[in-house]
Chain A
Amino acid sequence: MTAQMMTGNLAAAWSARLADVDYVPAFPITPQTEIVETLAKWCGDGSLNARFVTLDSEHSMMTAAGAAAATGARVFTATSSQGLLHAFEVLYTVAGWRVPFVLVNVSRALASPITLEPDHNDVLAARDSGFVQIHAETCQEVLDSILMGYRIAEDARVCLPVVVNLDGFILSFTREPVVVPDQETVKQFLPPFRPAHLGFKASAPHALGTAVTGGATYSYFRHQIHLASVNALRVHEEAAVEFERLFGRRYDVAEGYRLEDAEDVLVMSNAYASKGKAAVDRAREEGRKIGLLRLRVIRPWPAEVVRRALRGKRAVAVLDQNLSPGQGGILFQEIAACLYHEPLRPRSLCSFIGGLGGKNISEGEFCTIFEQMEDAGGRGTGVGPVLLYTEAEHRDMEQLQFLAHELRTGR
C-alpha cells in the first residue's frame, strides 16, 4: 500500500467510500464542503454506489441521517460549526433512537464574532448528546477513525452514532501522505450492516423514539444510552486490535507520547497535538522531562486510561482549545474530576486555553506553558485558566480597536 498526498477532507470522503455507505444526506459549509463535493462527484460517476441527497438545512440533514440509519442503511454525513449547532436538537434525538451512523465534524470556531478557523467549542457542545466522539490528529487518522467509527457504532453493544472530529484548515485543507486501505481488507474489518433492531418491513410495523412520561421510563432509556456509550470503550479496544492486525496502525482511546519517564505532562487533543509533540521533543533536548497525553476518544470518557497515564506525575497542564465562559477549559474539568480519588494524583493541575479561532500556538507559547507548569509543580499549586494570547498579538488588537472606535474618517 502506497501513500498519496491528501487533505483531511479528502481522507474523510475516501473513508465513506471504503465503508461502502448507502446514503449521504448533505449540506455544505466551510470548511467541510470538499467532503460532500467529493462524495457528490463519486456518487455521480458511479465510483460510490450510494444515494446522495442535498437537504435544505443541517437540521433536516441530521434527521434524514438518523431516519435512514433506522431503516438499516449505512449512512455518512458531515458538517461543521454553525451547521452542527443548527442540527443540535436532532443530535440528541437520533442518539436516543440508537441508530448507528458516522458524522464527520470539521471543527470551526463558533460565532460571535464569526470566523472560519478551528477550535472545539462546536464539537464539545455536542459532548452530552450521546454521540461517541473521536478526535483525529492526522489526515490518516481521519480516514482510519471513520472506519473504526462504523465498526463501533454498528456493534450491538453500542448502537450509537459516532462523530469523528477533524480541525478545519489545520487538517481539512492540509495535504499530507495518507495510505488508502484496500477495499477487500476494509470489507473484512467492516462486514455488511445487518442490525437486528432496525429496518422497516411492511409486515412488521414498529415505532422508534416514542413518548414516555412519568420519569422512570425515561430514566431507564436514557441510562441505556449511558451504558451503551460506556460499552464503546471496550468495543473501541477490540476494534483497535483488529484494525492493527489488518492495517498495521494502532489507535487507542488516548495516546501517550514520551510519557513513561515524564515528570510533567501536557494534555492536548486534535491536530495541534502534533505541535505539542514537537514542543515536547524540543524540551527533551534541553533535558526537561515532559511528556504528552493526547485525548482521542472524549465520549465515552476514558477515565481509567487518563488516571493511569497521569498517576504519580508532578504537574499536568491541560491545553483546552475551547472556552466555557464563566468556567474555563472543558477538558480540564473532566481531567480534574477523574483524578479526585487517585491517591497518587499530580501535585499540580494547570489550565491553559489556546488556539481559539485557530490561533497559532507558537514554539514560544509552548515554552511558556512548560515553564509555568514546572513552576507550579515545584510549588504544588494550580495555574489558570491562562489564555494563550501574546503581548505582540495584543498590540495588533489595539490597532484594530483604534480603527473600529477612535479613528475619525471625516465623514
Chain B
Amino acid sequence: MLAIRFHGRGGQGAKTASRIVGTAAFLEGFVAQDSPIYGAERRGAPVAAFTRMAKAPIRERGIIAHPDVVVVADASLMGDPAAKVLEGVDGKTILFVNSPMSAEQLSAQISARGHLTTLNLTEIALQRMGKRGAISALLGAVAGRLVGLRQESIHEAIARELAELGLAASVIEQNQDAAKYCYEAVPVVALESRARQTVPVALHIPAYESPTRGTAGITVGPNSGIRSVGGWRTFRPVLRPDLCNGCWLCFANCPEGAITIKPDGRPAIYYPHCKGCLDCVEVCPTDALTVERETEATSKT
C-alpha cells in the first residue's frame, strides 16, 4: 500500500488533490481510498487530506500516520505546529513542498528527515492559469508523478473531479495543461519500500481534575489575540491609500477583524490577524486594495 498525505490551507484544493490521485489510481486498477479532515471550515486554516492505494483491499482508515509521500501545498505550513506536516515523516518519506526554492535551498531552512523535492506551483498557476485560485490539479499531478501514476490517468482524473465541482470545460483544460507541465517538471525521487516495527505505546491514565481544568472552558480571558494567523496567507492584501475613498467596506467585510479605521477615517490592515482570504480585495470598489504573493521572506509578520 502507498499512503499519500496532503497538507494545504482551506481553499487551496488539498481535498480535491487527494481525490484526483484517488481517482487516477482507481482508473489504473488500484484499490483506492481518499478522505479529507478539517475542523470548523475556515478559509486559510490548515487542512489535511489522505489518499491510499493498493493492489489489495485497504484496511487502514482515517488519518495517515506513516506517509510514503507528503505533499505540502503551502510552504508556510512547515512552520505551523498545528499543521503537523512532519508527523510520521521518516528517512524514506518523500516530502514535496510548493516553494520557489530548490530542494537544497529549502533543506537548509527546515530540518526534515526524508527526501525533499520542490516546485513553484503557485508561480506556475499564476503564469499558466492567471489566477490565485485552488491548485488542486497541480498538487494532484505532482503526487501522482511521485507515486508512479500515469499522466493520462491524472489527466482524466482532473477532468472528472473538476467537472464534479462544476468548473467550465475551458477552466478544466487550463488545469490539465498546467498539471501536465508540473507532472513533467517535478524533480522525481524514487520510492523506497519501508518496513516498520509496530511497538506498544504508553497510555496515559488521566486523574480527576477540578471542573475548572476538567471541563472545556477558558479562564484566562480573551487569548485569541495572541494567535497569529498571518502565517496562513498565500497572498496578502496591500492598501494603496491614494486610491482609497474611505467607504469602509473592507473594514465591514473582514471576517477576522484585522482591518481597523485610523483617526483619519482610512483603513489599516493588522497583518498578524490577516489570514489572506482577500475578501477585502473583492469588495473594494476603487481597487485600492491590491494583492501581493507571500514569499518565505515576507510571510513572517
User: Which A residues form the contact surface with B (CB < 8 A)?
Assistant: 5, 112-113, 116, 169-170, 173-177, 271-272, 274-275, 277-278, 281-282, 358, 360, 362-368, 371, 386-394, 401, 403-409, 411
Please state if A389 and B34 are interface contacts (CB–CB under 8 Å).
no
Is B61 on the interface with A (CB-CB < 8 A)?
A: yes
Contacts of B225 in A (CB 8 A): 409, 411
Contacts of B108 in A (CB 8 A): none
Please state if A409 and B222 are interface contacts (CB–CB under 8 Å).
yes
Please state if B60 and A274 are interface contacts (CB–CB under 8 Å).
yes
Is B172 on the interface with A (CB-CB < 8 A)?
A: no
Please state if B220 and A406 are interface contacts (CB–CB under 8 Å).
yes
- With both chains docked as a complex, state the minimum distance between the C-beta of A8 and any C-beta of chain B, in angstroms: 10
Please state if B206 and A387 are interface contacts (CB–CB under 8 Å).
yes
Contacts A275-B62, A405-B220 known; 6 new A-B pairs at CB < 8 A: A5-B19, A176-B33, A275-B61, A404-B220, A409-B221, A409-B222
CA distance A170 to B37 in the complex (A): 9
Please state if A368 and B201 are interface contacts (CB–CB under 8 Å).
yes
- With both chains docked as a complex, state the minimum distance between the C-beta of B51 and any C-beta of chain A, in angstroms: 9
CA distance A274 to B61 in the complex (A): 7
* A5 and B203 contact, Cβ closer than 8 Å, known pairs A405-B212, A405-B219: no
Name A278's closest neighbour in chain B (CB-CB).
B59
Is B44 on the interface with A (CB-CB < 8 A)?
A: no
Q: Which residue in A170, A368, A393, A407 is a CB contact (below 8 Å) of B61?
A: A170
Is B269 on the interface with A (CB-CB < 8 A)?
A: no
CA distance A386 to B39 in the complex (A): 27
Q: Which of A5, A169, A177 has the most CB of B within 10 A?
A: A5
* A173 and B36 contact, Cβ closer than 8 Å, known pairs A113-B216, A367-B199, A404-B219: yes
CA distance A251 to B234 in the complex (A): 49
CA distance A235 to B220 in the complex (A): 58
User: Which B residues form the contact surface with A (CB < 8 A)?
Assistant: 19, 22-23, 26, 31-37, 39-40, 58-63, 65, 198-206, 212-213, 215-223, 225-226
* A271 and B61 contact, Cβ closer than 8 Å, known pairs A175-B34, A362-B201, A390-B204: yes
Contacts of B220 in A (CB 8 A): 403-409
Contacts of B58 in A (CB 8 A): 176, 274
Contacts of B35 in A (CB 8 A): 169-170, 173-175
Please state if A403 and B33 are interface contacts (CB–CB under 8 Å).
no
Contacts of A401 in B (CB 8 A): 213
* A393 and B204 contact, Cβ closer than 8 Å, known pairs A169-B35, A175-B19, A364-B198: yes
* A407 and B33 contact, Cβ closer than 8 Å, known pairs A390-B202, A394-B204: no
CA distance A225 to B225 in the complex (A): 56
Please state if B33 and A175 are interface contacts (CB–CB under 8 Å).
yes
- With both chains docked as a complex, state the minimum distance between the C-beta of B27 and any C-beta of chain A, in angstroms: 9
Contacts of B26 in A (CB 8 A): 5, 177
Contacts of B221 in A (CB 8 A): 409, 411
* A5 and B200 contact, Cβ closer than 8 Å, known pairs A170-B62, A176-B32, A272-B61: no
Name A407's closest neighbour in chain B (CB-CB).
B220
Name A355's closest neighbour in chain B (CB-CB).
B62
- With both chains docked as a complex, state the minimum distance between the C-beta of B251 and any C-beta of chain A, in angstroms: 22
Contacts of A358 in B (CB 8 A): 62
CA distance A34 to B144 in the complex (A): 27
CA distance A394 to B206 in the complex (A): 8
- With both chains docked as a complex, state the minimum distance between the C-beta of A268 and any C-beta of chain B, in angstroms: 12
Contacts of A281 in B (CB 8 A): 59
CA distance A363 to B40 in the complex (A): 27
CA distance A281 to B65 in the complex (A): 18
CA distance A113 to B39 in the complex (A): 14
Q: Which of A387, A403, A404 has the most CB of B within 10 A?
A: A404
Contacts of B215 in A (CB 8 A): 112-113
Please state if A169 and B62 are interface contacts (CB–CB under 8 Å).
yes
- With both chains docked as a complex, state the minimum distance between the C-beta of B17 and any C-beta of chain A, in angstroms: 13
